[in-house]
Structure 1
Amino acid sequence: MSDLHVPKDLLVYYHSPGRRLLELAVIAKVAPLPGILNSITDLIVKANMRIIGVSLSSEGDKRNILMFLDSIEATISPQELLEKVKSLATVVNAEIYESPSPSFIIDAYGYPVTIASGTERAVIFSVKWISTAFKLFIDKLGSAGAALLFHLGFMMGLNFGKSIKNMVETVDEYLEVVRLLFQANGFGLVKLEKHIFPSSITLNIRVTDNFEVEAHEGVSKEPVCHFTRGLIAGILKAFFGKDFDVVETRCKAMGHEECVFKAFLK
């Protein structure tokens, strides 16, 4: 498990006062030799434009490319750059969006938003939004809200686990995939210890930066990560086919450095 973590900023919007921002969208076909992205970036560099952000995805024999660019010191106009990009043999279509507000650019082309190589549609919420919504459930509904969050997490974890179970062969592989997907989806950083015996299964799960506690201010008297508890219970049920009790023993909302969960067979 690597300690290297590279921030992953999704290409949604960008604000930089004093800049002249634009978006370049390109659909290209696969060439006999690699180099589609290099050909486009070479034109951008020659135009003295800076690349602020890039999204590159594959769709069959096509490559979908989105770029946020800063053209404040450009030696050619955006339209001239566009014509040069369109002249590339591998480019099927291309457009440039110039924002009405030069220092603020919003992705005008990237839709639908997907994950898993385009097989699953996704939506983007900030952690602050979703954590605030979860907190509202508890504030307004009390224990009923906590139960609702647990069952919501359980169903999500169960479906999530079933979708990856057939891709792995061992429990170690399964738990490692789950750990990485938890991280890749922005839920938090996970470390776990497992103790598996013929008659019992126990897991200790430590989550750093758990998204669920983001909106909780001050010090809570009790753990608040009910959705995460349900998520863990559902993920384990999907693989082992058995029900687990999941208890949060430490919670960042209570002043602890991380959230810690203990899962054991019922």
Structure 2
Amino acid sequence: MTRIDAKFAALKAENRKAFVAYVMAGDPDEAKSLEIVKALPGAGVDIIELGLPFTDPMADGPTIQLAGQRALDQHMTLDKTLGIARAFREEDETTPIVLMGYYNPIYSRGVDKFLVQAKEAGIDGLIIVDLPPEEDEELCIPAQKAGLNFIRLATPTTDDERLPKVLQNTSGFVYYVSITGITGAAEASGADVAPEVARIKSQTDLPIIVGFGVKTPEKAEEIAAIADGTVVGSAIVNKIAEGQSVEDIAAYVKTLADGAHRA
């Protein structure tokens, strides 16, 4: 059982929904990024998504793209990203960390070497947005054998024919993208999300976490009530971009987490 599996089991026992927060590793710099990550559990975050900066983030909107560029400008690397996870683990052994990004840096490192390093650093799961199910032998299967969850995205365009393929080797949870398009582009609609979550739940026992377009405590509560939890990324990254203090960022995150936990 991974930390992700254990977290969802604990939340289910408490009849609580999950709140997942995304931040870009190295944004605005390595030191402050680590401070922000360390502050997230105290702000009510159940699972941390740690973005891996990449030069061509095709699935991301301007907010996340700019966060990645800020990190790259600060010379953020895969090794330094794993270093943030490793430093976090010195103080927190229980909060799951999902590394989210693109396959190129992992491919360049070498899958076997990367998986050993990720596991050693305390990474619990991977979301690699540009690896479709047809490429499961590349990373998904090796990651699961190494004890990491491989979390897949489902979207409004994932039809009934495609969905079983998406789900077949997914573990940890399913990340449902609530809108068609890039991150930060629009607001999620509970009316649109509810039938899609029900459709996915009919095909899997995995928790369904909904992200994209969640920006307020009220929306976090609305979406979490429909699913098993919600993800907020761009709205948090905007606060980082504004230069807010770690304390102010954590206070904002807590309002979102409290919203999700009210669901």
TM-score normalised over the length of structure 2: 0.26
More helix by share: 2
Structure with the bigger RCO (C-alpha within 8 Å, sep 6+) is 2
TM-score, L = length of structure 1: 0.26
User: Bigger radius of gyration, 1 or 2?
Assistant: 1
**Larger strand proportion of the pair:** 1
